[in-house]
Structure 1
Amino acid sequence: MTDLVQQDTRAMTVTASKSHYQSEEFARRLRGRYAAERNFKIAGIAALALASMMLVVLLTSIVSKGYTAFQQAQVRLEVTLDKAMVEERNYTAILRQALYAQFPQITDRTGKRTLNELLSSGAPYELEALVKQNPAIVGTTQTVWVRADDEVDQFVKGNFPRTAPESERRLNDAKIAAIDAMTAKGTLVQAFNTTLFSAGDSREAEQAGIWGAIVGSMLTLMVTMLLSVPIGVAAAVYLEEFAPKNKWTDLIEVNINNLAAVPSIIFGLLGLAVFLGFFGLPRSAPLVGGLVMALMTLPVIIISARVALKSVPPSIREAALGIGASPLQTVTHHVLPLAMPGILTGTIIGMARALGETAPLLMIGMVAFIVDIPHGLTDSATVLPVQIYMWADSPERAFTERTSAAIMILLGFLILMNGLAVFLRKKFERRW
């Protein structure tokens, strides 16, 4: 009798369960749950699509404005390097004579002044450098290529409208006629802009380059890496492997995490007060920039190094200690080598962040106008992000395209560094 009651009870339970799962209320709740999951997926896909679209718009805007900066208008001239004029360093007159020879019909002063404005103000220095490089050409006639003025360059690239009234154009009709004549004869062409990669900053757009900023960035990163990497790794090893767990180490860990979130300009203010104000180090120098960047990247390196050390299984430490290794030998011979890929990844990401920072360096004076290429850690210098900031503030159209070109180059460096970090992580990553 008891068995029959239990069977009836189970049958009633199964029937009740089936009726519950087949009810309209359960079906409605199930449809709502599926709809919520579907809407969440759609929202995620929409967010990714929107972010991708914004990225495409940003990159398209930068590239469309900056790719023309990799070309520069150049003028071909047949110059006669008269010995007397070379000795007097009158290279301007030599270039002008060659330019006037292409337009023998122009004899008045106004027309010649118009022709003079077609050449860059740095063209005589280009010719002087050519003569210094090969003094044997003095007294001969040579075919040389010199930079055109930035307004001529922009007109050739189509950035200045030809159809606008003369009063609203940067170039008058006489200049446009001369440009058209030289273009037709092949004496005015577009060539690869080597100046962009070989010169420092300049007030004239056609003479401005980013090499000085690149050298300054490399010197600054060198100081940053030499200081932050050893100190950061040593601090991470001590905190993770040797430091006792008490309120003081907890306080240190909290402060390290907080420093990683501090705005970068605060580190610039600290560098201004300590390194410049107290120690009197030179302003706008890679040494000071590297010290400030080292302070900024230290928390990032310490946190990433600690995470890498934590990822090493405890069994590695126990095995090393079990065969008689000291705690220091365990860390240096076993734990640290196994954690090195993660440490390298965090270090490269920290260096990439330092490469792209601007605000801290503005506070220590690296926004100064620097023409010369720095040769040491105490020479005045600027860095690539600050160079972009300075060019973006210039009203000339030629500086606009150079700003975008410099952004493209900086993005290339950042992508390369982050790609290297991903490669090292994939190549040396250990799965336990």
Structure 2
Amino acid sequence: MSQSFDEITAQLKHRHRRTARLKWLSMGALALAATFLVVFISDMLVKGLPAFQQAQIQVEVTYSEQSQQMPPAAVNEDVRRLVSRGFLRTLPMRMRDNPDLVGTTRMEWVLADSAVDQYLKGHHTRLKDDQMVVVDDLLAKGQVALKFNTRFFTAGDSKMPELAGIASAAVGTVMTLIVTMLVCFPIGVMTAVYLEEFATDNWLTQIIEININNLAAVPSILFGLLGLAIYINFFGVPRSTPLVGGLTLALMTLPVIIIATRTALRSVPDTIRQAAFGVGCSRWQVVRDHVLPLSFPGILTGSIIGLAQAMGETAPLIIIGMVAFIPDVSASFGDAATVMPAQIFTWAGEPDRAFTEKTAGGILVLLAVLISLNATAVWMRKKFERRW
């Protein structure tokens, strides 16, 4: 039965209204997501940027035999309670390393206690009224200031927030990711090459493909349990080390690299393979000399994204004990270490208000690294991508 012109017009108007409604709903969802992102980033900036500044006090430090035995005596009584205990504890070591300091008195900028730091930043503080008066007086004289917090990037963890830094966690992260890539990159690429270029389509390869796709969707904490059971309990790999952390993250990253590599291999046109076969190349020569070079940008991009995903993981590393208190930088892959996500998790559980900005500052550093890795992957894909 044919429709009249008015009925067709009404249907078109209804269809256009539905299309417009879907368009506005999509734009609204995008705007809502962008709003949440802006709120999240803004909140992290407000809370995290103060972590890159640390209060310091200019005091008169006396290096004497008495201060070597009892460090608090080295600082004037009025400001002794405002100076970080960590600085006072380092005085004997400084005099042992530099004997020329003994018997001298110097004006130095030293770390202030976290309570002074929070007071200068306008946060809740543990300072008493008389201490606030002293701080205000020193501030008026220019003997108290917020300066760039170099310790945040050069020091390890500490129970005193003014001394805590991310250096040990950053080094532990790098060492863990080195192990991860050394294990999962060659295995993942070779597995993908075999499945895509050499394996026949049978029930065994189909089972392998299904399991690889399923492993990519497994919760990360299960990989931590697997690493605990296999590497630590069965093989006896030392707990809380970059070695076991890297091996555990390799299990999680392996499916991502395999899937990304297979996608990159499939993007190479079959005409390339046929042309290579036509001039007498073997299958291995075709893969080695033609397919792999052309697909390598895609393989590298997928590997970087997998590396960035592994870098942000916390749950599997908690299971294998990489949340230890690590004040010093690890010297080898077999030493106890922690990683940046685990360090942030540890700081988030500290009751001291000063650790809140340390947590947000660590998140900012981690976000900067992750965004850089993903931007590098996008740049490499755009630069080396070939369109057929």
TM (norm. structure 1) is 0.87
Q: Of the two, which has the highest radius of gyration?
A: 1
Q: Cα distance, 1:159 vs. partner?
A: 0.5
Partner of 2:343: helix, strand, or coil? helix
Counterpart residue identity of residue 27, structure 2: I
Q: Cα distance, 1:277 vs. partner?
A: 0.8
Confirm whether residue 391 of structure 1 aligns to residue 347 of structure 2. Answer: yes
- The equivalent of 2:73 in structure 1 is 93
Which of 357, 364, 371 is 1:408 aligned to?
Answer: 364
- The equivalent of 2:333 in structure 1 is 377
Distance in 2 separating the partners of 1:377 and 1:132: 31
Partner of 1:207: helix, strand, or coil? coil
TM (norm. structure 2) is 0.96
- The equivalent of 1:268 in structure 2 is 224
Which of 23, 48, 53 is 1:71 aligned to?
Answer: 53
Confirm whether residue 207 of structure 1 aligns to residue 163 of structure 2. Answer: yes
Q: CA deviation digits over 1:23-76, x for unaligned, max 9?
A: 221111111011111111101110000000011111111111111110000111
Counterpart residue identity of residue 27, structure 1: T
Distance in 2 separating the partners of 1:266 and 1:188: 50
**For structure 2, which runs of at least 5 residues remain unmatched after alignment?**
none
- The equivalent of 2:118 in structure 1 is 154
Confirm whether residue 49 of structure 1 aligns to residue 28 of structure 2. Answer: no
Counterpart residue identity of residue 158, structure 1: G
Q: Cα distance, 1:136 vs. partner?
A: 3.5
Confirm whether residue 365 of structure 1 aligns to residue 321 of structure 2. Answer: yes
Confirm whether residue 328 of structure 1 aligns to residue 284 of structure 2. Answer: yes
Equivalences for 1:138-287 in 2 at 5 Å?
A: 138-160=102-124, 170-287=126-243
- The equivalent of 1:111 in structure 2 is none
Which of 16, 20, 32 is 2:14 aligned to?
Answer: 32
Task: Summarize the Cα distance change of 1:132–1:414 in structure 2 as closer, same or farther, 3 Å threshold.
Answer: farther
**For structure 1, which runs of at least 5 residues remain unmatched after alignment?**
1-15, 104-114, 161-168
Q: Between the two proteins, what is the percent identity of the paired residues?
A: 53
Partner of 1:179: helix, strand, or coil? helix
Q: Cα distance, 1:384 vs. partner?
A: 0.4
Instruction: Report if the CA contact (8 A) 2:82-2:116 is conserved.
Output: yes
Instruction: Report if the CA contact (8 A) 2:72-2:80 is conserved.
Output: no
Counterpart residue identity of residue 280, structure 1: G
Task: Summarize the Cα distance change of 1:129–1:50 in structure 2 as closer, same or farther, 3 Å threshold.
Answer: farther
Q: Cα distance, 1:131 vs. partner?
A: 4.5
Partner of 1:407: helix, strand, or coil? helix
Q: Cα distance, 1:216 vs. partner?
A: 0.6
Q: Cα distance, 1:396 vs. partner?
A: 1.1
Q: CA deviation digits over 1:270-322, x for unaligned, max 9?
A: 01111111111111101000000000000000000000000001111111111
Distance in 1 separating the partners of 2:379 and 2:94: 44
Q: CA deviation digits over 1:300-347, x for unaligned, max 9?
A: 000000000000011111111111111111111110010000000100
Instruction: Report if the CA contact (8 A) 1:126-1:146 is conserved.
Output: no
